[in-house]
Structure 1
Amino acid sequence: MKKLLITLLIPCCAMAVDAQTKKTVVKKTTITAVAPVKFASTLDSASYAFGMSMAASLKSGGLKSLNYELLMKGLKAEFAGEKTLLSQESAQKAIGNTFKTVSQAKFSSNITVGKKFLENNKKTPGVQTTASGLQYLVLTAGDGIKPKETDSVLVHYKGTLLNGKQFDSSYDRGEPITLTLDRVIPGWTEGMQLMSKGAKYKFFIPYNLAYGERGAGQDIPPYSTLIFEIELLKVNGK
């Protein structure tokens, strides 16, 4: 039996040795050298620099790539004075829509958090929601006149993000502010017309009624739902 097992193993060992002794065939890969770019003139280097500058600017706005073939066609057509595939209006709309899509993807968490907050907040006792989506809570009713959209008013206010971070407060500055209702964010324009002189409301403003897709400065990120406490001290009229 042992002799039979040894006999059976010999061919296997021979095959293993033969496999090891065979030479491995390596395919040769031909590498084509890329010729270095040479600038023959100042215009050449400037052209390359324009490309760098354009890309850096677009990248800072959130874009990661472009259709380079169409980019070059657009550049050439505009420089040559040819009829372009898009009108100036359509071109601006396309650019705006692209950056809007990029921004929504980048700040999608702000949109999600804001929607979830407002959905839960409207169930809070005393909170009322208007047709536009603006939410408010009456802290003090007031008994004076209500302002119109074109009126100037004197107010005290405090603004915070959903995480509680305060970004502005007239109370902290120690003096109220005079403003005109048709020159503020839509949430303020609508909300303050609900108030009577002497009233104090708490507003919960969705991003589309606040600073929208752009945000405001360093303190208010794009697509931020905001909370304001506003005290209407005086209605000045037009």
Structure 2
Amino acid sequence: MLKTKLSAVAVLATTLFTAQTALAEKADPKFVDDSSYAFGVLMGKNIEGMIESQKNLFPYNQDRILAGVQDTLKKSGKLTDDDLKKQLENLDKYLREQENKIQAEKNKATTESGNKYRADYEKKSGVKKTASGLLYKIENAGEGESPKATDTVKVHYKGTLTDGTVFDSSYERKEPIEFQLNQLIPGWIEAIPMLKKGGKMEIVLPPQLGYGDRQAGKIPANSTLIFEIELLDFKAAK
């Protein structure tokens, strides 16, 4: 992460300085001054962006950053290439460790929130629980046959996190969607065959029946997921 940003700045600097050197003798002095200042601003914005993106991980000393830039331009830098490499590797390691700590805290909070939500939901009237930990409440069973795991289902649905954040909704898009059932998350594969055409249910999935310990778009790792699902139709696999 850090190396990528620094490399991009270095490439930009090399390109612009090379162009400036080639044209310096022919350029108007004021144009040179204005362009040089603008280039400095551009470099500053890149450094500012890096500092801002890592402000929760590391308290950069801006005076020392400026000193490093000035010493380098004056060719009076105090670090050898090996020293520079070693220091940046140490910084990169530190940043990764801090990111891991922050992520672990988020994972813990998400897990605790999910555990509490499921415990409270399980106590509600009409809620049932399967051996896998799936919690469900069928509002309308529907009529006819139920889909099999290999069937393609047509559904309307809304997915929310325990704090009420909607992370996906076919209702908002005003268009149902079709999936082959056995290609979906485990909770859906287990729950949808409980419905018949026209059926509707609410399900609450522990992380292992959703996306587990990995983040998926707007869904944090270790999330408990709540879905409203309406089975509009299904068709058997050929």
TM-score by length of 2: 0.60
Match of 1:171, SS? helix
Letter in 2 for 1:194: M
Q: 1:184 to 1:104 in 2, by over 3 A?
A: farther
Gaps of 5+ in 1: 1-35, 64-101
What is the distance in 1 between the residues matched to 2:161 and 2:123?
Answer: 20
Q: CA RMSD in A?
A: 2.4
* Counterpart residue number, 1:153: 153
% identity of equivalent residues: 41
Cα distance in 1 for partners of 2:188, 2:93 equals 38
Could you list the per-position Cα deviations for residues 118-166 of structure 1 after superposition, in whole angstroms to 9, with x for gaps in the alignment? 1221121100100000001111110122111222111110111112221
Runs of 4+ aligned structure 1 residues displaced above 3 Å come to 102-106
Deviation, 1:59, is: 3.6
Does structure 2 retain, via aligned residues, the 8 Å contact 1:103–1:213?
no
Shift of 1:55: 1.8
CA distance in 2, matches of 1:178, 1:152: 7
- SS of the residue aligned with 1:233? strand
Match of 2:132 in 1: 132
Bigger Cα Rg? 1
Specify every segment of 5 or more residues in structure 2 that has no aligned partner in the other structure, as ranges. 1-76
State the 1:188 CA deviation.
0.9
CA apart distance, 1:37:
7.4
Match of 1:74 in 2: none
The offset of 1:48, in angstroms, is: 2.8
Aligned: 1:223 with 2:207: no
Flag the 1:232–1:106 CA change in 2: closer, same or farther, 3 A.
Answer: same
TM-score, normalisation: structure 1: 0.60
Alignment of 1:184 onto 2:222: no
Question: Equivalent residue for 1:27?
Answer: none
Tell me what 2:164 maps to.
164
From 93, 106, 112, the counterpart of 1:55: 93
1:54–1:131 distance in 2 versus 1, CA, 3 Å = same
Amino acid in the other structure paired with 1:201: M
What is the one-letter code of the residue matched to 2:96? L
